[in-house]
Amino acid sequence: MKTIKRAIISVYDKSGIIEFAKVLQNEFRIEILSTGGTGSLLEKNGIKHTKISEFTNSPEMFEGRIKTLHPKIEGGILFRRGLQSDIDDADKYNIKPIDMVVCNLYQFKEAIEKPGIALDDALELIDIGGPTMIRSAAKNFPDVIVIPSPEYYNEIIDELRKNKGAITEGTRIILAQDVFAIMADYNAAIASYLQKVYNPNAFFPHTMIKVYEKVQDCRYGENWDQKAAYYKDTLSTHGLHNLKQISGKEISFNNYLDIDSCMQILLDFGTENYTTAILKHTSPNGIAIDKNDQLMSVKKAFSTDPLSAFGGIWGINKKLSKEVADFIVNKEKIFLEVIMAPSFEDKALEILKQKKNMIIIEYGDFLSNRNDIYKNFEIRSVLGGIIAQEYDSKPIIKEWNVVSKKKVTDIEKEALIFAYKVSKWAKSNSACFAQIHDDGFYTIGIGAGQQSRVHVVKLAIQKAIEFGHKDNLKNSVMGTDSFFPFPDGLEVAVEAGATAIINPGGSIRDDEVIERADELNCALVFCGKRVFRH
């Protein structure tokens, strides 16, 4: 381990730097070099330092664009202390070793998030000297320690004290690795910004640069013998990393997938009415909305398929009431994996926390950030790469075309849109039967994941009957996520009791399907937008 004798301090984020610099100087007699803004702060706090311009005998240039780009700085960081030719060059050119680089970068990402930032201002926040120094120090980690963030100050102080002014190689390696990750993130932000400014129409860039930061390890992966972790996209302001876990067991890989699906369903339904979404394996098994009563919304969603609600993921779109918590925990004694709401009444939390393993998540104002959440790509991994697409966040109804002789009422139109939204979130092929009640709409049978349209309609009917909704199928409405390739799916739905059906249309047999709808006196709406979910 090599003792630290000289450090350069040049930081944009100055939190904790005074205390850190005082320890370096007062306890370990480390010589400090510094630049203008940081140097002025050190001087005001009685910390002696040598100005970079004095150390290099070269002034700052171009309004500070060049401060540390000098052989005496980069050479002092990069020369290999154990290589004689480097030692000879250092002696020949009077280059003194710099053993520690304390530097964090201009906050480019934070700056460009401000509305209306001018291009010239953004360009000035692209750091040049800082990245050069920390990359140099990271490259030469056997001889130099780099400290790229205030979060490391206390750890470094402890290690200096433990090792009498030296830093272990293990710590040097870890921090060097962090530097290259920081630079990848920094460069990705710049590349993304310039692409948006200069080439906004290139929706999919030639090179996609993404950097992910680990948020937490998962309890396990998709199966028990798989390891997993959740990472956030460092360029995304809003995402699942904004959710707050209040209590419960550690979140698993599958929990995250279900949570993601549940949040997107709630985003689709918004906050106008009380909405309850119950999911299992990323597909809804019960959804209901009520204009006035949260508990009614919960009861109706649960009634769709109480069996599949066991171990499910429950999402609520408004503050969760004591009555809802009491219904779940005490009256029905329902086993939930996860329950989510923007907030909770105090009494509701007391009740829910009786279930020690149940994951309780508070998501705050997440639903108000829909545009920001969906501005990035949806990315899925495939063998050897990824596929990317824009999120399916456009309005679910592209056109409203009643193609049958039978028309629909205003309330039926609302119910059809509700059913179609649910079918969007069920795995393809999907079908959803929905019913109208006094203050809203609720699902009575949902089919998902079938290879044919007619079979998914039959599955939805079967589930509705199994859970006591046979009578509710009469005068119901149905949504299905793509066209009917043959009239048989429509025929089965009408036979079960559906009086109005919505799908996007687009089949080569649309005319046959419309003709059959008229023969069966069923209203048929083509909305022009397919909503497959694979």
Catalytic residues: 139, 281
Burial of 287 (0-12, 13-18, 19+ CB in 10 A): buried
One-character DSSP codes across 219-279: S--SSTT---EEEEETT-SSSGGG-EEEESSPPPHHHHHHHHHHHHHHHHH-SSSEEEEEE
What gap in Å lies between CA 9 and CA 145, rounded to an integer?
12
At position 484, the amino acid (one-letter code) is F
Peptide bond into 199 cis (omega under 30): no
| Eight-class DSSP state of 507 | -
One-character DSSP codes across 61-72: BTTTTBSS-SHH
Structural element, H or E, at residue 414: helix 410-425
Structure tokens at 139: 């490259």
> 432 in helix, strand or coil?
strand
What are the φ/ψ torsions at residue 435 (nearest 5 degrees)? Answer: -130, 155
Angle in degrees, CA 73, 79, 81, rounded to 5 = 130
Is the Cβ–Cβ distance between 290 and 313 less than 8 Å? no
What gap in Å lies between CA 364 and CA 244, rounded to an integer?
8
| Eight-class DSSP state of 4 | P
| 525 alpha-carbon distance from chain centroid | 35
Structure tokens at 14: 């100055």
Lay out the sheet containing 401-402: strands in order across: 244-247, 359-362, 336-341, 312-316, 274-280, 283-290, 440-447, 431-437, 476-480, 498-503, 523-526, 401-402
What gap in Å lies between CA 507 and CA 331, rounded to an integer?
47
> 349 in helix, strand or coil?
helix
